[in-house]
Amino acid sequence: MILDSALEFLKSPRTRLGPYNRCVPKTSPAQPLRPALFLDRDGVLNEDRGYVSRWEDFHWIAGARETVAAFNRAGWLVIVVTNQSGVGRGYYSEADVHALHARMAKDLADIGGRIDAFYHAPQHPDAPVEAYRHPDPPDRKPNPGMILRALSEWPIDREASLLVGDKPSDLEAALRAGVKSVLFTGGDLAQFLRIQALLPT
């Protein structure tokens, strides 16, 4: 299976994996599986203004917070999977990424929304920061590493899950992980998903 072979690759000692910033729950076979909404960050949740790392530069996409809250109410897990090569390029640190994600979480909580986990991929083949240089980073989309890690660490019903991205690389990562996906073309995210009959009611 694609999932099994990819997970074996991710366990390789040669593989560098980016950290997540939420505690991974202790799962058990008895724990019921839930669908997950996988979301790219820049261009889906927030306006992509290029290497966004500070809250003062962060602007929510219209309907993004409402989308997260709607899937929360429907019992879905909501998981962000985002390439962050700005770390590897030395533009900002992983601590900056965590701080921004914490601020996003706080802002979402104000309207009853919640992101269950953030995964980010700081590696890049040409990263000037050696610690983040990798010829083919397994976490960096279009590779499926972040999604596969979430599937192994959370009680996710893969066949019922959905990824929303704004780039072909997002959709390729989802395909390689065996998750359905949709390409967000801009505008109001909640309205876009409603038109696609994908927004929970």
40 catalytic? Reply is yes
Report the distance separating Cα 2 and Cα 25, nearest Å. Answer: 24
Rounded to a whole number of angstroms, the distance between the first and last alpha carbons of the chain is 34
Report the distance separating Cα 61 and Cα 47, nearest Å. Answer: 6
Please list the alpha-helical segments (H only) found in 81-120: 85-88, 94-109
Active-site option among 42, 116, 139, 170: 42
Strand partners, 46: 42, 60
Count of positions (residues) in the chain:
201
Can you tell me which residue has the tokens 């104000």? Answer: 110
Active-site option among 40, 139, 166, 170: 40
Q: Can you point out the beta strands (E) in the chain?
A: 36-39, 77-83, 117-121, 162-165, 180-183
Active site residues: 40, 42
